[in-house]
């Protein structure tokens, strides 16, 4: 079945440093979504990428979708303590009636030291 691998599992940074998490799929993805989960909270949707090579920005966050649509990355510039949490990528399930169901990566836990 489809697997979505995410690295690193943990990342500790000093406030102001940059952060990047990477997501790789064993199959081509029609789209990829990114979610953020604050400690003790629930995942919250950040963005969806659909096109090959797509790049989207949300303030200090930059999301990229690979040319082959099998990998993606999330880059945060100049981290702040409010960026603390777990970042997940998620891809759609394969074929059949599985539209809408998502396979999540393991997540990257980001800690920001002030």
Q: Which residues bind another protein (CB under 8 A)?
A: 1, 6, 9, 30-31, 33, 35, 41-45, 48, 50, 88, 90, 92-93, 97-107
Pairing of strands 10-14, 108-113: parallel
For 6, the 3-state DSSP assignment is strand
Would you call 88 exposed, middle or buried from its count of C-beta atoms within 10 A (0-12, 13-18, 19+)?
buried
Residue with Cβ nearer another protein (42 or 114): 42
- If phi > 0 it is left, if psi is from -120 to 50 it is alpha, else beta; for residue 95 that is left
Residue with Cβ nearer another protein (66 or 91): 91
What contacts 62, CB < 8 A, 6 or more positions away? Answer: 55, 56, 74, 75, 76, 77
Smallest separation, CB 86 to another protein (Å): 9
Residue with Cβ nearer another protein (73 or 77): 73
Smallest separation, CB 26 to another protein (Å): 14
Residue with Cβ nearer another protein (1 or 114): 1
Smallest separation, CB 45 to another protein (Å): 4
């Amino acid at each position: 079945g489809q697997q979505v691998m995410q690295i690193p599992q943990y990342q500790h940074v000093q406030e102001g440093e940059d952060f990047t998490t990477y997501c790789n799929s064993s199959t081509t993805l029609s789209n990829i979504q990114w979610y953020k989960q604050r400690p003790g909270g629930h995942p919250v949707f950040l963005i969806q990428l659909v096109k090959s090579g797509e790049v989207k920005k949300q303030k200090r966050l930059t999301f990229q979708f690979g040319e082959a649509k099998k990998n993606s990355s999330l880059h945060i510039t100049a981290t702040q303590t409010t960026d603390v949490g777990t970042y997940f990528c998620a891809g759609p399930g394969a074929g059949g009636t599985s539209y809408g169901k998502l396979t999540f990566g393991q997540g990257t836990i980001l800690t920001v030291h002030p």
